[in-house]
Amino acid sequence: MPMIHAVTGGTGLPENVMSISSSLYPHVDAICVREKQLSETALSLKIKKMIEQGIPPEKLIIHSFPAIAVQYNLQGVHFTEFDDRMKLFKHTYPYLQAGKSVHSLETAIKAELDGADYLYFGHIFKTPSKEGVPGRGLDLLRQLTDSVSIPVIAIGGIHFDNIQTVLEAGAAGAAMISAFFKNEE
């Protein structure tokens, strides 16, 4: 069964996104809360509200804020490609997942050596969030999945109509924003 991550779109988690997340969590492996524009305090309050609305903490991955993952005992933290905190985080909290975004074979191999439990690799296809930047494509995805032993989750322009192609290229699953939240944010 492929791993499916729903990734929030960076709009501050309005009520409708919180509501969708509450309905969505039983059907995905994780909801990656990617709201980099919010302060740590504001994001912590949003996570608390999501948990109060019934989303199990173990279904939530927080993007870039390790203290929130520890505070609420979330599934884990997702780090950006050049965020050097992941190795120390994983050493300190080995029971929480640590994921990392990567955009090259070199950074993927380094992330695995640093203790990442999984990788997001992309963007694979053309996507509105990366306007004018061509996707990295399925060939590079295949090279990357052949080069690491941890799960690689493809991201970028992936919907339910093209997910099979990334799985055939070796991805363990897909992280999707617009497939879940496009018209809701």
Cite the active site residues: 123
Round to whole Å and give the CA distance between 185 and 74: 23
Q: Which two tokens stand for residue 126?
A: 């053309």
Cis before 63 (ω within 30) = no
Q: Which two tokens stand for residue 122?
A: 């992309």
> Strand, helix or coil at 133?
coil
Q: Are 77 and 62 in contact (CB under 8 A)?
A: yes
Round to whole Å and give the CA distance between 181 and 13: 11
**Axis crossing angle, helix 15-24 with helix 40-52, rounded to the nearest 10:** 50
Round to whole Å and give the CA distance between 129 and 10: 11
